[in-house]
Structure 1
Amino acid sequence: MSQTQFDMIVIGAGPGGYVAAIRGAQLGLSVAIIEREHMGGICLNWGCIPTKAMLRSAEVFHLMHRAKEFGLSATGVDYDLDAVVARSRKVAGQLSGGISHLMKKNKIHVVMGQARLSGTGRVSVKTDKGEETLSSDHIILATGARARELPGLEADGDLVWTYKHALTPPRMPKKLLVIGSGAIGIEFASFYNTLGCDTTVVEVMDRVLPVEDEEISAFARKSFMAQGMKIRENSMVKQLDRGKGVVTAHIETGGKVNTEEFDTVISAVGIVGNIEGLGLEGTGIEVDRTHVVTDEFCRTAVEGIYAIGDIAGAPWLAHKASHEAVMVAEMIAGKTVHPIKPGSIAGCTYCHPQIASVGMTEVQAKEAGNDIKVGRFPFMGNGKAIALGEAEGLVKTVFDAQTGELLGAHMIGAEVTELIQGYVIGRQLETTEEDLIHTVFPHPTLSEMMHESVLDAYGRAIHF
């Protein structure tokens, strides 16, 4: 008879769930993990990883068209969309298989099926072989989230797509409408626009990438439009009329509604938590707008039940889920843990140019009552950026003028999703401007701009 009692049960095997399971096993806990679809969850199979693989293809395609700038020759440059998608799926499949290997390596009991809370400390699982019940004093909900669909704008997989359809497109769009300019919307807009699709982005807020610093948003907007993308801010798609091979979008701007035809629409208007079918009703677990309410230690209102990752609310980031997973597993194992600071979690958008940020924007820092110092340094002032042919970009830093605390950092340009971690570490270590000013950055590197931005905040920039 297979084991049914565990020290910890994890529901969902995404970047939150599988990490919690591994950390729990490392600490000597007996662990069961339940997954209804794919090991690795949305991130590995339909989110972070496959989108980056596709965006990499678009980046190489873009560089091939710039070959002459580098003294090279490339003729007949083209792409094979099916091959691009196939590479993306292969990458995702490789990593998903790797998660299964890690489960075996760490002796974690894996159950494939639909899980439901079925009483205190019990989880029922419907599998292809029937139903089984597992028990534990500690249950972690890590079921993630899915694309939000607005009434009248629902995806059909043909004319109107979600991110899943956009990752396995049935065709290359000729004229594309992207609804929403958050990270998901902008990444797909960037991908298809780079491959030559006539792309329009509609954003209900007053600027694209509305969670980013206003200066970075403005820089991004200018860059996107220079690439041929059409941006419509303060606008809302009110209705989609679907015909044969065409969608007529009713777009309201400033109280006036205009119509325009597209052959494809991608809806990227946010996400909703996967709470259905979990048996939360009547448990005492609080739900707010499809997300499970937790305290700073990811504990729900019911003792012994935790929620991590997207199901527990913003920021909806895989790395946030993974660190919550480690924290909860260690807490269950009796370790002393510290809550994760949302302000020290970086956000990255892998469009062209890339965007990355951590901490407060300039406006947020002022609204919080801080007397601030702001530094900026452009990519065009950096030797490595010029040598790479990537002179478009900006690094911006925000400091508390009284204490020297790094309140926020915001970047746009080549490889900033890799660079941002330097500032993340700085915030985690409570670094001041003096520490950063006296840090020696290697030359020639893009990271030197991080140093120069700090210097600029204090009137000491050298190369600009």
Structure 2
Amino acid sequence: MVVGDFAVELDTVVIGAGPGGYVAAIRAAQMGQKVAIIEREYIGGVCLNVGCIPSKALISAGHRYHEAKHSEIFGVTTENVKLDFTKTQQWKDEKVVKTLTSGIRMLLKKNKVEIIEGEAFFVDENTLRVMTEESAQTYSFNNAIVATGSRPIEIGGFKFGKRVIDSTGGLNLTEVPKKLVIVGGGVIGAELGSAYANLGSEVTILEGSPQILPTFEKDMVKFVEKDFKSKGITVVTKAMAKEAVDNGNSVTVKYEANGKEEAIEADYVMVTVGRRPNTDDLGLEIAGVEMTERGLVKVDNQGRTNVKSIWAIGDIVAGAALAHKASYEAKIAAEAISGKAVAVDYVAMPAVAFTDPELATVGMTEKEAKEAGLDVKASKFPLGGNGRAISLDKKEGFVRLVTTKEDNVIVGAQVAGVNASDIIAELGLAVESGMNAEDVALTIHSHPSLAEVTMDAAELALGLPIHM
């Protein structure tokens, strides 16, 4: 390879090695492209290093600790249950995160993807420079896929520091806070709030909307609200966070709710109010790429920008900031570059909250379907009618199918309850494939299993319920 003032020629270059970037690189390589991937911080991106994966590890640890202390219903009584949080964090970092990120490196190497470390900056529509602290190198490319992800939003009055932290800081605490305030009761705030409550923290969540988890339907969220109440989590809705005052060994959070100024003292305050696309300092404007006012990249249904050689996927384009959305778009863009007639179709894009219990949705809600002009009905089967759920003592929740009245086509589904994140997969397949309720009802499900709830919900939609 020639370095220095000469431009190194690349076929396809991917910027960012998160769940969008590394998937794009591998799929492009599988399609016969010569691929290089540029990463400035860590392979696996936010998701594997400081997001989806480590948060689920802490959630799992919280479940184990909480269940060890509260399993009397099974006849299991334990005394002197102890938590070594240093060991918990070590397991999260070494056995979970490191295992996965090293696996990604191996997959990239196996697919002959060149890894370039540094920060990319576009010079023009076919040239970029990669800079490190020691050097800079120019590269020319035929196609570039930008997958630089997003970062937490910092709000006024809450400058990140030792006591005011973002979700990354929340995942890397060296101690379980005695008191934790979370600003933002969306998915990230609710998940980490639940995890730390299970680990022993006294948690307060301040949410500006009328309910926590505002992207999920109210009858689903009520199960999480009930669980929060049982664990002593305080939820303040319609709250406006004003300021965080660092007291040295604590922080005072000032907020307004119900027209009154309030204040609460805690060990830490974690701000989880949204994410900002990482599109600044990339030189996209220099390359002529069109952007929105929010800093999102405008793309077509294959991920191509207005500059034919530059593509964009994941958190930096319109839509929900979901790792699986980024991976899906990655495959579409990589295959489109290879000339395949593909396009994104978000009809069956699932969304999940790993709370207690889990919440999951795919396709349209009943309200959305009716607003779209469809004549639909909703059929809700409770987990309390499922043998496996009862044997797990996890009876809270339901599976709901949204089906057309004329031919029972499944256009959406919602799951609240244990393992909702797994149950939703079958229903996503049903929505994606245009199946009707009879297709699911006639599929033999193993017994006893949580998956049977989907069969029962389908039979209910057909007016032939057995277990209800």
Provide TM-score, normalisation by structure 2. 0.95
In structure 1, what is the equivalent of residue 121 of structure 2?
Answer: 116
Number of the residue aligned with 1:316: 321
Residue 462 of structure 1: aligned partner: 466
Tell whether the 8 Å contact from 1:141 to 1:307 is kept in structure 2 after alignment: yes
Q: Would you say the 8 A contact 2:408–2:461 is kept in 1? A: no
Matched, 1:48 2:64: no
Counterpart in the other structure of 2:351: 347
Pair 1:446 & 2:450 matched? yes
Q: CA deviation at 1:128?
A: 4.4
Matches within 5 A, 1:251-400: 251-288=255-292, 289-337=294-342, 339-400=343-404
User: Structure 2: how far apart are the matches of 1:145 and 1:209?
Assistant: 20
Match of 2:35 among 31, 37, 50: 31
- 1:396-448, CA deviations, whole angstroms, 9 ceiling, x for partnerless residues? 22122234222221112111111110001001111112222322222111011
Distance of 1:18 and 1:126 partners within structure 2: 20
User: Which of the numbers 424, 432, 436 marks the counterpart of 2:436?
Assistant: 432
Deviation at 1:144, TM superposition (A): 0.4
Give the % identical residues: 37
Task: For 1:200 and 1:400, locate their aligned partners in 2 and report how far apart those are by CA, in whole Å.
Answer: 41
Distance 1:159 1:268 in 2: 14
Which consecutive residues of structure 1, in runs of 5 or more, have no partner in the other structure?
none
TM-superposed CA distance for 1:248, in Å, is 2.3
Do structure 1's residue 410 and structure 2's residue 414 form an aligned pair?
Answer: yes
How far apart in 2 are the matches of 1:208 and 1:65? 27
Q: Find the partner of 1:19 among 5, 18, 23.
A: 23
* Cα distance between partner residues in 2 of 1:57 and 1:454: 34
Match of residue 146 from structure 2? 141
Tell me, in whole angstroms, the C-alpha distance in 2 between the residues paired with 1:52 and 1:389: 21
Partner of 2:245: 241
Q: 1 CA distance for matches of 2:285 and 2:432?
A: 38
Q: Cα 1:128–1:396, aligned 2, differ >3 Å: closer, same or farther?
A: same
- Tell me the SS of whatever aligns to 1:190: helix
The superposition leaves residues 199-232 of structure 1 with CA deviations (integer Å, 9 ceiling, x where unpaired) of 1111111111111122112232222222221111
Residue of 185, 189, 192 corresponding to 1:185: 189
Cα pair distance change 1:367/1:206, threshold 3 Å: farther
Aligned partner of residue 142 in structure 2, secondary structure: coil
In structure 2, C-alpha distance between the alignment counterparts of 1:359 and 1:444, rounded to whole Å: 27
Deviations 1:340-386 (A, max 9, x none): 22231111111221111111223222332332211112221111111
For residues 121 and 17 of structure 2, the distance between their equivalents in structure 1, rounded to whole angstroms, comes to: 15
2:155 is aligned, of 150, 154, 157, to: 150
Q: Cα 1:400–1:255, aligned 2, differ >3 Å: closer, same or farther?
A: farther
Match of 1:198 among 197, 202, 215: 202
Runs ≥4 in structure 1, deviation > 6 angstroms?
Answer: none
TM-fit CA distance, 1:129: 4.1
Question: C-alpha displacement at 1:2, in angstroms?
Answer: 4.3
- The alignment partner of 1:290 has SS state of coil
How many angstroms apart in 2 are the aligned matches of 1:205 and 1:312?
25
- Alignment check: 8 A CA contact 1:213 1:362 kept: no
| Cα distance between partner residues in 1 of 2:460 and 2:230 | 28
Superposed CA RMSD: 1.6
193-202 or 279-288, larger mean C-alpha shift: 279-288
**Structure 2 unaligned blocks of 5 or more:** none
